[in-house]
Amino acid sequence: MITVPVALGDRSYDVRIEAGLLNRAADQLAPFARRRPFVIVTDANVAPHAERLAAQLPGSEVITLPAGEASKSWGHLERLTDRLLELGIERNDHVIALGGGVIGDLVGFATAILKRGCNFIQIPTTLLAQVDSSVGGKTAINSAAGKNLIGAFHQPRVVLIDPDLLDTLPARETAAGYAEVVKYGLIDDIAFFEWCESNGAALLAGDGDARAHAIAHSVAAKARIVAEDERETTGKRALLNLGHTFGHALEAETGFSDRLLHGEGVAAGMALAFAFSARQGLCPEEDAARVAAHLAAVGLPHDLASAGISASGARLVEHMLHDKKMDAGTLPFLLARGIGQTYLDKTVDLKEVAAFLDERPR
């Protein structure tokens, strides 16, 4: 088993990674057991895995939500918190989030606010959740105004990652999660981006060694950044937002629907961030082209056209004004001086961003 510690003082926890771990989850969960049985929250597509977990935890209750981004909403948050209250959840109980980033973000937020905060455990079941969303404690729902706008920082007590769960994940979802893997290379680790160029196709084809390496490397990278800047106050954690200002705008434009999955928006967003950096003379053109080429090679969107977006630059910039990084009316952007050299730029003129987007082929 690989254990990655997330060092956050009294909120520290372990991320444990091992193939087949769900079959041994009862042992892992025993230290977190309390008087009442565990409550497991999952979505309809993950239900078979939830049943396998519930069978190991006598008396446990499974709450099953609809699959998809639409569950990160006020309505589902209300239904979930009502049900958890009905079940008599106490502050020291541990609610288990078994699912992708949607379930993790929703359960994390529900437990952050329930009784002013109770415990939760992440058992991520998508590649995206195993490499990114289950670690770091960002929890949220979406609002009419945009992505993740209602939320809280709330760390899980432990994260249990079983890469074998990915065997049932649809190929499109695996590719979307892979975008967040590539992100770690683009942020500050060119050697890992080169590893992705050489091994990404094998990972997406189900190669177990490539998958295990990508998960362990990504979790370690995220744990390091989160430990340095838990609440995104110094600019360090904002690096994890590479591609997200563009990506969230594209997701908003497609109505947070399965027209464009989060990871697909991030893929297009990272390619756009590099292309914009190159346009502004900050980053070599070859690096921007190389990023787009790798994303295209694995079948991910890498521009507006491949993301299916026809909206104007002004309209996309309008979505960006809801970005949580907005500060005194300006929007800091994650730009790059090259692959592995992402930085936070506080001087970006949004009119330039709109003009750049209008120049992109539709």
Ligand X SMILES: NC(=O)c1ccc[n+]([C@@H]2O[C@H](COP(=O)([O-])OP(=O)(O)OC[C@H]3O[C@@H](n4cnc5c(N)ncnc54)[C@H](O)[C@@H]3O)[C@@H](O)[C@H]2O)c1
Ligand Y SMILES: O=C(O)C(=O)C[C@@H](O)[C@H](O)[C@H](O)COP(=O)(O)O
* Out of 28, 111, 122, 126, the residue judged to bind ligand X by CB under 6 A: 126
DSSP state of 260: S
Instruction: Please list, residue by residue across 30-55, b when 16 or more beta carbons sit within 10 angstroms of its beta carbon and e when fewer do.
Output: eebeeeeebbbbbbebbbebbeebbe
Q: Is 102 labeled as ligand-binding? A: yes
| Backbone torsions φ then ψ of 361, nearest 5 degrees | -65, 140
Q: Are 230 and 240 in contact (CB under 8 A)?
A: no
Q: Which amino acid is at 224?
A: R
Q: How far is the CB of 335 from ligand Y (least distance, A)?
A: 16
Which is closer to ligand Y, CB of 241 or CB of 277? Answer: 241
Cα 40 to Cα 51: distance, rounded to the nearest angstrom: 10
Cα 182 to Cα 202: distance, rounded to the nearest angstrom: 14
Query: How far are the Cα atoms of 3, 48, 50, 324 from residue 147, in angstroms, in the given order?
Result: 31, 29, 27, 9
Which one of ligand Y, ligand X, none interacts with residue 102, CB within 5 to 8 A by kind? Answer: ligand X
Q: Which of residues 143-162 bind ligand X (CB under 6 A)?
A: 148
Which is closer to ligand X, CB of 151 or CB of 338? Answer: 151
Q: Is 39 labeled as ligand-binding? A: no
* Out of 6, 22, 72, 252, the residue judged to bind ligand X by CB under 6 A: 72
* Residue sitting closest to ligand X (CB): 101
Which one of ligand Y, ligand X, none interacts with residue 128, CB within 5 to 8 A by kind? Answer: ligand X
- Tokens 């979790």 correspond to what residue? 219
Residue 116: active-site member: yes
323 is an interface residue for ligand X by CB under 6 A: no
Q: Are 43 and 105 in contact (CB under 8 A)?
A: no
Which one of ligand X, ligand Y, none interacts with residue 244, CB within 5 to 8 A by kind? Answer: ligand Y
DSSP, collapsed to helix, strand or coil, labels residue 290 as helix
The site for ligand Y (CB under 6 A) is made up of: 132, 136, 138, 147-148, 180, 237, 240-241, 244, 324
* Annotated binding residues: 101-105, 125-126, 138, 147, 180, 244, 262
The site for ligand X (CB under 6 A) is made up of: 43, 45-46, 67-69, 72, 99-103, 105, 125-126, 128-129, 132-133, 136, 138, 148, 165, 168-169, 173, 176-177, 262-263
